[in-house]
Amino acid sequence: MSLAAVQRHDSKPVKGNHSILFDGYKIILGGLEPERNPVVQAKPQASWLRELLAESTGRKFEVRPGYRLPGLVCGK
């Protein structure tokens, strides 16, 4: 399995709510929804990587979209 990931470089807030929630469709960071939905961004990237791997190797790979938030813990 391969993973196509989107990564954010936002800093944690100094104080206040810095929780991360994912409901299967959108991500909420610190109680706010990002301007651009990273879930929507990651899906086409996974498709692009899947096609690139198939074209370059002649094999099919399972590629899943992912979203990386360095240093932060995600809850559901």
Model confidence at 36, in pLDDT bands (50, 70, 90)? confident
pTM of the model: 0.61
pLDDT of the residue at 5: 52
Percentage of the residues of the chain whose pLDDT score is greater than 90: 21
Model confidence at 23, in pLDDT bands (50, 70, 90)? confident
Q: What angle do CA 51, 55, 59 make, to 5 degrees?
A: 90
Instruction: Note whether 53 and 59 are within 8 A (CB).
Output: yes
Given a cut of 70, whether residue 52 has pLDDT beyond it is: yes
pLDDT of the residue at 16: 63
Picking from 24, 18, 13, 8, the residue whose alpha carbon sits closest to that of residue 73 is: 18
Coil, helix or strand at residue 75: strand
